[in-house]
Amino acid sequence: MADSVGDVDPAFEGAGQKAGIEIWRIEKFCPVLVPKSSHGRFYTGDSYIILKTTALKSGALRQDIHFWLGKDTSQDEAGAAAVKTVELDAALSGSAVQYREVQGYESEKFLSYFKPCIIPQEGGVSTGFKHAEAEKHKTRLYVCKGKRIVQVKEVPFALSSLSEDDIFILDTESKIFQFNGANSSIQERGKSLEVVQYIKDTYHDGKCDIATIEGGESADAESGEFWDFFGGFAPLPEKTSTDDNSSNDVFPTKLYSVEKGQSQPVEVDSLSKELLDTNGCFLLDCGIEFFVWMGKNTSIAERKSASGAAEELIRGLNRPKSQTIRVMEGSETVMFKSKFDSWPQSAETDEDEDDE
């Protein structure tokens, strides 16, 4: 394998040596370490690399790498994050699993690192926007989904965004409202209350009122203030619109080889491990899940090329919100192996693996 120290960004020197989280933001196409005091604060105009190091029962360390792309980040910054993630993996001996995370469509694995949630702020290092702390407070509406891990997503500030199926948080300058849809669960309400407290502490310095509004009821004096923000009370629909993510069943699983930075379809009747060549890189399109497999005998340059080919293919297929997972030969996840009709059993065990 033609790797060298010069192939790895010096910003990653010493990374992943102990359990915890390390974060870098892409600034002028280079990774810059984010101080721990700013962990969990992401900006919509930026791209980040997040390294999660876990101590296993055996005493060994396992690393998972995520690169997070804000909705307003440039294509060049997103590409830099993808490339630098490959370099970080090389600095960690190539055994980390790498995940592509898109704002609003993050994996539960990624969201679990930041309790109780992440709420990206407008702006970014290369944009003309000022960071949110310096701006006048803007009223925002969020929807909260999930009983175990909460995903908080900003939605249009309009009555049409509300429904009885979910929890909504209305963040105003002087008060935060939690709207509990009639069909939401007790667990969801409890988790969303943690989000409300997080917003109060983080964006209001702990100085604002909190109110809970119950759905399925007509407006009363106590909830009137909430409904006034939407032009008055109105009955809400029982069902929300369909999810942005399509079912994996819509897309047939397809394998591609990467040749000189270009993806080429591999025409086969069934998938087996033998199709994967240790001297090459392959892409596996499973719909919402998109895998990049990198052979042990490939160079860092070849892995970067494969990652670029994956980004190009995702754009060409018009599936920008697909979750990309990159795995190295010998460190494949259970999820990846399950996509193959034939994968020989190994004597090794996937110790402490927690695939979603």
**Per-residue pLDDT tens digits for 11-61:** 999 999 999 999 999 999 999 999 999 999 999 999 999 999 999 999 899
Residue 250 pLDDT more than 80? no
| 118 belongs to a structural domain | yes
Confidence class for position 320, pLDDT limits 50, 70, 90: confident
| Helix (H), strand (E) at residue 326 | strand 323-328
- Same domain as 98, residue 75: yes
Confidence class for position 218, pLDDT limits 50, 70, 90: low
- Same domain as 105, residue 156: no
Tell me the Ramachandran region of residue 231: left when phi exceeds 0, alpha when psi lies from -120 to 50, beta otherwise: left
The pLDDT score that the predictor gives to residue 249 is 46
Which residue, 67, 26, 35, is CA-closest to 49?
67
Q: What is the mean pLDDT of residues 81-104?
A: 92
Residue 128 pLDDT more than 60? no
CATH of the domain at 71: 3.40.20.10
- Same domain as 142, residue 66: no
**Three-class SS of residue 302?**
helix
Last residue of a domain, one of 127, 161, 182: 127
8-state DSSP, 62: E
8-state DSSP, 123: -
- Same domain as 89, residue 35: yes
**Three-class SS of residue 77?**
helix
- Alpha helices in 57-119, H assignment, sequence order: 75-91, 108-111
Last residue of a domain, one of 69, 99, 127: 127
| 57 belongs to a structural domain | yes
| 2 belongs to a structural domain | no
The pLDDT score that the predictor gives to residue 219 is 65
Domain total in the chain = 3
Last residue of a domain, one of 101, 127, 153: 127
- Under 8 Å between Cβ of 206 and 231: no
The pLDDT score that the predictor gives to residue 127 is 52
The Cα 342–Cα 334 span in angstroms is 13
The Cα 346–Cα 242 span in angstroms is 40
Instruction: Determine the distance from the C-alpha atom of residue 21 to the mean position of all C-alpha atoms in its chain, rounded to a whole number.
Output: 15
| 233 belongs to a structural domain | no
Beta-carbon contacts of 247 under 8 Å, excluding residues fewer than 6 positions away, are 287, 288
Q: What is the pTM of this model?
A: 0.82
- Same domain as 203, residue 148: yes
Q: What pLDDT digit, counting tens, does each position of 278-316 carry?
A: 999 999 999 888 999 999 999 999 999 999 899 888 888
Instruction: Determine the distance from the C-alpha atom of residue 109 to the mean position of all C-alpha atoms in its chain, rounded to a whole number.
Output: 8
Side chain identity, residue 89: D
- Residue 116, preceding bond cis, omega within 30 degrees? yes
| 354 belongs to a structural domain | no
- Same domain as 195, residue 143: yes
- Same domain as 270, residue 203: no
Which residue, 138, 139, 146, is CA-closest to 116?
146
| 81 belongs to a structural domain | yes
The Cα 209–Cα 338 span in angstroms is 49
Which class for 191: exposed (0-12), middle (13-18), buried (19 or more C-beta within 10 A)? Answer: buried
Give the rounded percent of residues in the chain with a pLDDT score beyond 90.
61
- Same domain as 40, residue 109: yes
| 345 belongs to a structural domain | no
- Same domain as 170, residue 98: no
- Same domain as 184, residue 166: yes
Side chain identity, residue 92: L
Question: Structural domain of residue 79, as residue ranges?
Answer: 12-127
* Residue located via tokens 């943690």: 194
- Same domain as 204, residue 156: yes
Residues pairing with 45 in the sheet: none
* Cα dist from 330 to 8, 96, 97, 284, 310, whole Å: 22, 11, 11, 16, 20
Residue 352 pLDDT more than 60? no
- Same domain as 93, residue 62: yes
Confidence class for position 146, pLDDT limits 50, 70, 90: confident
Q: What is the mean pLDDT of residues 235-250?
A: 56
